[in-house]
Structure 1
């Protein structure tokens, strides 16, 4: 049963005191988090269920959200992970033959608070100029001064460890049809499509909670190790970084995505930095420095590996850069079969330009397995 939102007001207040008045969307209530914007023109359900967005209030730059409803299969986790939603136009009805319901019902089901009918272009420009900051949305407390006081109490994303909020609680395995390789996946906030991209390539994937020790993972004798995406500040995860260092040094072929990329970098002595504004969207240009080819990518991150620290490490090869701002987008270890990227090659929703990275991972696994077989003969 949908809430009648026709006359329900909502207020958005930013950390710097800027306020926007609009209409309520989703559940009635109050929510807080770091505000961020996504420039993607499609795939809002996949975006909202991406665990990397945990703790973030998301502004959609696209004008109309909700018009095609939701679909049972277009999810990247077990539910919505955004802290809140900001849109220009919000549709509480939908038109789609395969749709399974309205976005309004979906937001209410997961108790997610939103606001619509505000000038999102003005809001995005403000965030771009002022940088990342916290925000609060409320459709129950409409006192701007009260909300300004409350938003000051919200902790900064910098220094927050959030993977433990979204990681699996129990180990589980997804088998491929006629699986050839066994991949251990450390779940820092994994998207469903990462597992799917691996099983499609003949990998049986065992997903481990983020707190799993390297010894337990390596005891299963995996052919490859996958480090997933996830939310929060990578520098706030020293225990995980220490275990990943052991995984990397085992010599097992490894592949990291987004937060997994940052954790691999930290395990090798590199540094990470909070970005003034993160990269979030499905149209980000990346250059592969190895092949010299460019690709359009899906991205979602507010932290990045320091280019300076990578260039100063003689064991690190920078393999990819972001063409908008020349930030580091991919690395490879020169002495081990380990590589990682800052963006999302599984891209759901998004372009498939970077799916070759999964094939590269499988090639590394096959080469390593053949080398071990030769040594044993």
Structure 2
């Protein structure tokens, strides 16, 4: 059965349908990873997006029970050059097509994914819709042009109620803006006592949990659409050690007075080089974001840039000059991707230890004064 991708500029790609028969619209983006399609499909940061995978053969090692980054995938569609019908791997339990059908996600294969990727790189991300062949293209284009992208993705993917992953080590409150299971797995591996809370939990509610550290997770969309998170972080900086990842990184920066901007086509893949400014070390990282922190805006804050992207010079990490708080734009949990930056989790643990040993007492006394001068 044929299916078409219709873009808001009127471009049409016709290919073969797989997965769900449901028609869905979303922001069309691309990911350059050669492996990890299961983790990409289940990454909550792709909420409401239609993802094009640039590697030509997808689904060849099937789907297994261990590599999911969330229980309920929030992606709106998948586009590939070729979808493997019969996967071959000892861990495989079902095919890509079966997974998409079970989660009501439409797929499209057989189109020129190189052409689509070049379009996005040249003109930026575009709204698109995966449709049957009987729709009127002009009607769909008009619909896409008149429809705004959603702004409530974080609310869609965040947990509705707090829950506990008990451990014997430091207590870490993980604020769920759409976290990947790889983050929780890395905290549990370090014996942390983790409490996962919704994105709109207040600073007061978090502090009542008596955390030793706070993890700000990744998540979908524009950080400016999460004012609850910005306000919460503003009142936590200086009181408890903080580590932010991806959207959590952006929210920490906004809470301290920086600004975010939408990128032309974003960073999505598992091979993005990042330079640590202090040492010159280059890490190959996994990334998935469409917004970045404006470097110039950091000059008016108490944050310093710690990491930059080698390819385009965008901000990839910041640290607070006065308090135990740092964040990175990339994914140190590396699910999927290289593990070069995995040591950042241990750096967070060491920051917690230092804070407990009294090396950051000034921050504990002064509370959120680090960001009080910022006009939100």
Calculate the TM-score normalised by the size of structure 2. Answer: 0.93
Residue number in structure 2 paired with 1:84: 77
Alignment of 1:100-111 (within 5 A): 100-111=93-104
Check if 1:241 corresponds to 2:234. Answer: no
Output the CA distance in 2 between the equivalents of 1:60 and 1:309: 33
Alignment of 1:1-377 (within 5 A): 8-139=1-132, 141-156=134-149, 160-176=151-167, 179-250=168-239, 252-313=240-301, 315-371=302-358
Output the CA distance in 1 between the equivalents of 2:83 and 2:241: 45
- Conserved 8 A contact 1:30-1:141: no
- Aligned to 1:152, the other structure's residue is in SS state helix
- Conserved 8 A contact 1:283-1:297: yes
Output the CA distance in 2 between the equivalents of 1:211 and 1:310: 25
- 1:219–1:68 Cα change, 3 Å: same
CA drift at 1:143: 3.2
- Aligned to 1:58, the other structure's residue is in SS state strand
CA deviation string 1:57-110 (max 9, x = no partner): 000001011111100111000122211011111123211121110110100000
Q: After the TM superposition, which of the residue ranges 70-79 and 240-249 deviates more from structure 2?
A: 240-249
Output the CA distance in 1 between the equivalents of 2:359 and 2:110: 60
Output the CA distance in 1 between the equivalents of 2:315 and 2:289: 12
CA drift at 1:373: 11
Output the CA distance in 1 between the equivalents of 2:14 and 2:91: 34
Output the CA distance in 2 between the equivalents of 1:292 and 1:162: 36
Output the CA distance in 2 between the equivalents of 1:85 and 1:136: 11
Output the CA distance in 1 between the equivalents of 2:313 and 2:360: 41
- Aligned to 2:229, the other structure's residue is in SS state helix
Output the CA distance in 2 between the equivalents of 1:298 and 1:30: 30
> Where does structure 1 lack aligned partners over 5 or more consecutive residues?
1-7
Output the CA distance in 2 between the equivalents of 1:141 and 1:114: 17
Output the CA distance in 2 between the equivalents of 1:44 and 1:201: 27
Q: Which runs of 4+ in 1 moved over 4 A?
A: 372-375
- Aligned to 2:184, the other structure's residue is in SS state helix
CA drift at 1:114: 1.4
Aligned residues: 362
The Cα RMSD (Å) is 1.6
> Where does structure 2 lack aligned partners over 5 or more consecutive residues?
363-376
- Conserved 8 A contact 1:161-1:233: no
CA drift at 1:370: 1.4
Output the CA distance in 1 between the equivalents of 2:361 and 2:252: 29
- Conserved 8 A contact 2:37-2:58: yes
CA drift at 1:173: 1.2
Output the CA distance in 2 between the equivalents of 1:373 and 1:286: 28
CA drift at 1:199: 1.1
CA drift at 1:225: 0.4
Calculate the TM-score normalised by the size of structure 1. Answer: 0.93
- Conserved 8 A contact 2:52-2:79: yes
